[in-house]
Amino acid sequence: MRRPLIAGNWKMNTTPEEGAELGRALAKALVDAPAVDVAVYPPFLSIGPVAQALRGTDVAVGGQDLHTETGGAYTGNTSGEMLAAAGCTTVLVGHSERRTYEQESGELLAAKTRAGLRAGLWVTFCCGETDAQRDAGDTLDVVRGQLADGLGGLTANELRNVVIAYEPVWAIGTGRTATPEQAQDVHAAIRAWVTSTWDAGVGRSMRILYGGSVKPTNVVGIMAKPDIDGALVGGASLKADSFDALVRFQSL
Ligand code: PEP
pTM > 0.85: yes or no: yes
| Catalytically annotated residues | 95, 167
Domain ranges of the chain: 5-251
Find out whether 197 and 232 touch, Cβ atoms under 8 Å. no
Please give the number of the atom of ligand 1 that sits closest to the Cα of 215: 8
DSSP string, 96-139: HHHHHHS---HHHHHHHHHHHHHTT-EEEEEE---HHHHHTT-H
Predicted local confidence at residue 1, as pLDDT: 84
Tens digits of residue pLDDT in 68-95: 999 999 999 999 999 999 999 999 999 9
Among 232, 238, 239, 242, which residue has the most ligand 1 atoms within 8 Å of its CB, making it the best to mutate? 232
Q: How far apart are the C-alpha atoms of 131 and 22, rounded to whole Å?
A: 33
pLDDT of res. 130: 98
State the chain's mean pLDDT as an integer: 97
**What pLDDT, on the 0 to 100 scale, is given for residue 33?**
85
The fourth-level CATH superfamily of domain 5-251 is Aldolase class I (3.20.20.70)
pLDDT of residue 152: 98
- Residue 126 CA to residue 99 CA, distance in Å, equals 10
Cβ(234) – ligand 1 distance below 6 Å: yes
Residue 69: predicted pLDDT: 98
| Positions in the chain whose pLDDT score sits under 70 | none
Which residue's CA is the closest to the ligand 1 atom numbered 8? 234
